[in-house]
Amino acid sequence: MPIEVLMPALSPTMEEGTLAKWNVKVGDSVSSGDVIAEIETDKATMEVEAVEEGKIAKLLIEEGTEGVKVNAPIAILLEEGEDESALEGFAAGTAPAPQDSADTPSEAPAAASNSLSDAGSNFHSVSAGSDPEIPSGTSFTSTTVRDALRDAMAEEMRRDETVFVMGEEVAEYQGAYKVTRELLQEFGAKRVIDTPITEHGFAGVGVGAAFGGLRPIVEFMTFNFAMQAIDHIINSAAKTLYMSGGQMGCPIVFRGPNSAASRVGAQHSQDYSAWYANVPGLKVIAPYDAADAKGLLKAAIRDPNPVVFLEHELIYGESFDVPDLEDYVLPIGKAKIRREGKDVTITAHSRMVGFALKAAEKLAEDGIDAEVVDLRTLRPLDTETIVNSVKKTNRLVTAEEGWGRMGVGAEIAAVVTAEAFDYLDAPPARVHQEDVPLPYAANLEAMSLPGVEDIIAAVKKVCYVG
């Protein structure tokens, strides 16, 4: 096929120039590197070298022409073995028909329809899996969330020697919140590693180790301090598998307490749920009780993707029943209906699940039967469970501890209005923190954070009660 020679740019900003002189004529043979023309702008002159070899078939622009646009065809070369018949039907500057052989999807789309209703139900049937069956007769042990997380790490470290934990104070001190208690004693300093105080630095080390085939658990003393590590979490951990064309992935868990503790002020109290759940390539988990904390952390450690595991300082010490099963692993991406109800769906994650359950109890006294959906995983979000619940209750209240703008509740409300619009009997309502940095003083902090009463008020609003 004939080759087009294009008007070159002298600089990144050049848009057009003058074709000052041709050094070749039709019929000349040129080889790569031969100077075939000179071009000028008001600032400089440049020689145009042939990039390909061949015979000049046509000069498309006359010598002395001004205002030749960059990358416009200026000449046509014939390749070796071609004669002028190759020019028939060849028009400079027009693209040949794209070859689309490589563009055929390996799997034909089921339907090219953009219809929302079609898209909705078809694919929701793909389930993330179910919680493992707990055989009857299984005993349960009351365990704190803190110890359940510890047990999960210890079990996975026994199972897979590439798993290790690193972070500030995780070894000698047993963790700032004692979540890594006795791990150093069992696994030694090679796999329980104290780091200097640089979240950005040791997150980068963890990411590098994960690239290299290990399975690091990076503990942040709180996710508030991980804000400076977010470049490694998002730009490297979450995106590298994609950017490298699938060659290099990052199996890593970033874990630690998220959200407010008690009176630690604006810089130590932020909820990052919506931030991380916004990022393709990350999985984001925020469990409530001890059994979920254990089963989901084990799943997170085994997952081949980077996982952000959001814990909550104020529930570390709460105890819940954990089944005495040898290997209790839960599916990532599966919500859990904590309480069945028929009048309204309340979605919540992490500590807000406890508030939602308390609100549901009080609402029951007023004759409102609330269903509580514990999201457990924020990315990928189990929209199937949420949408099915709303189809049953026809009302939605979302509850989250963080700020509401662009938040988790906003996403859920969008999904529900898109996929269950006709089922809704009221606009969805969102419960969230007030739109201010969290104040320190106890009275202001309490007013700023969402609680049981806020959820009750929102439920009554969507039920048009009171």
Partner 1 sequence: MSTQQSRFHVPAPPFRPGDEPDFSNLDLQKAGEAKRPDPLIEGFETRDLALGLIGVLDHNHQAVGEWDPKLSPEAMREGLSHMVLTRIFDDRMLKLQRQGKMSFYMKSLGEEAISVAAAMALRDSDMLFPSYRQQGLLIARGRHLVDMMCHCISNSRDNLKGRQLPVHYAWKEGNFFTISGNLGTQFPQAVGWAMGAAMKGEDQVTASWIGDGTTAEGDFHNGLMLASTYRAPVIFNVVNNQWAISMYQGISKGEAPTFAAKGLGYGLASLRVDGNDFLAVHGATQWAAERARKGGGATVMELYTYRADAHSTSDDPTKYRPKTEGQIWPLGDPIERLKQHLIGLGEWDEKRHQALETEMTALVTKAYKEAESYGTLHDGPLAPTHSMFEDVFAEPDWRLRRQRQDLGV
Q: Which of residues 155-214 bind partner 1 (CB under 8 A)?
A: 164, 190, 195-196, 198, 200-214
Which residue, among 71, 18, 64, 59, has the nearest Cα to 40 in the 3D structure? Answer: 18
Q: What's the one-letter identity of residue 164?
A: F
Q: Which is nearer to partner 1, 195 or 270 (CB)?
A: 195
Bridge partners (DSSP) listed for residue 18: 40
Minimum CB separation from partner 1 for residue 390, in Å?
Answer: 18
Distance CA 287, CA 102 (A): 43
- Binders in 361-400 for partner 1, by CB under 8 A: 380
Q: Specify the residue, 5 or 390, whose C-beta has the smaller distance to partner 1.
A: 5
Binder of partner 1 out of 27, 81, 89, 105 (CB under 8 A)? 105
Residue 407: what are its φ and ψ, rounded to 5°? -95, -170
- CA torsion through residues 333, 385, 273, 445, sign: negative
DSSP string, 407-457: -HHHHHHHHHHHHSGGG-SS--EEEEE-SSPPPSSHHHHHHHS--HHHHHH
CA distances from 120 to 75, 112, 259, 277, 463 (A): 54, 14, 33, 21, 26
Sole binder of partner 1 in the list 20, 35, 68, 70 (CB under 8 A): 70
Given the rule CB under 8 A, which of 54-62, 121-129, 147-155, 452-460 is the region that contacts partner 1? 121-129
User: Parallel, antiparallel, or unpaired for β 396-403 and 429-433?
Assistant: parallel
Torsion of CA 30, 33, 35, 36, to 10 degrees: 40
The catalytically annotated residue of 199, 371, 401, 445 is: 199
User: Which is closer to partner 1, CB of 62 or CB of 103?
Assistant: 103
Region binding partner 1 by CB under 8 A among candidate stretches 103-111, 262-270, 348-356, 432-440: 103-111
Q: Identify which of residues 298 and 338 has a Cβ nearer to partner 1 in the complex.
A: 298
Least distance (Å) between residue 440 CB and partner 1: 29
The piece of 54-62, 138-146, 257-265, 276-284 that touches partner 1 (CB under 8 A) is: 276-284
* Position 421 contacts partner 1 (CB under 8 A): no
Beta carbon of residue 358, minimum distance to partner 1 (angstroms, whole number): 32
Spatial separation of the C-alpha atoms in residues 294 and 348, rounded to whole Å: 19
Binding residues among 229-248 for partner 1 as defined by CB under 8 A = 231-232, 235-236, 240-248
Chain-centroid distance, C-alpha 427: 28
Which of 306, 245, 251, 252 minimizes the C-alpha distance to 279? 306
Provide the minimum distance between the beta carbon of 201 and partner 1 in the complex, in angstroms, as a whole number: 3
Q: Select 317 or 380, whichever has its Cβ closest to partner 1.
A: 380
- DSSP strands (E only) in 131-238: 140-144, 163-167, 192-194, 215-219
Quick check: 106 binds partner 1 (CB under 8 A)? yes
> Which CB atom, from 161 or from 340, has the smaller least distance to partner 1?
161
Residue 89 interacting with partner 1 (CB under 8 A): no
Among all chains, which residue has been given the structure tokens 């069992």? Answer: 186
Selected catalytic residue, list 268, 312, 349, 432: 268
- 10 to 39: interface string for partner 1, x by CB under 8 A: -xxx------------------xx------
Find the binder of partner 1 among 98, 135, 137, 466 (CB under 8 A).
98
Whether residue 380 is preceded by a cis peptide bond, meaning omega within 30 degrees of 0, is yes
- Whether 268 is catalytic is yes
Which residue, 24 or 359, is less far from partner 1 as judged by CB?
24
Tally of CA atoms within 13 A in the half-sphere of 7 that contains its CB: 27
Residues 326-355 that bind partner 1 (CB under 8 A): none
- Look at residues 375, 456, 376, 461 and name the one whose alpha carbon lies nearest to residue 415: 375
Task: Please state, in angstroms and rounded to a whole number, the distance separating the CA atoms of residues 199 and 182.
Answer: 23
Q: State both tokens at 93.
A: 């500057």
Q: Residue 212 contacts by C-beta under 8 Å, 6 or more apart in sequence?
A: none
Size of the site for partner 1 (CB under 8 A): 80
Given 25, 85, 112, 262, the residue binding partner 1 (CB under 8 A):
112
Interface residue with partner 1, options 85, 114, 136, 262 (CB under 8 A): 114
* 199 has catalytic annotation: yes
- When binding is defined by CB under 8 A, the residue of 280, 367, 443, 464 that contacts partner 1 is 280
Token representation of residue 356: 């939602």
Q: Under the criterion CB under 8 A, does residue 126 sit at the interface with partner 1?
A: yes
Per CB under 8 A, the segment of 102-110, 318-326, 427-435, 446-454 that binds partner 1 is: 102-110
Q: What's the residue count for the chain?
A: 466
Binding mask 281-320 for partner 1 (x = CB under 8 A): x-x-------------------xxx---------------
Q: Does 41 bind partner 1 (CB under 8 A)?
A: no
For the annotated catalytic residues, the residue numbers are 199, 268
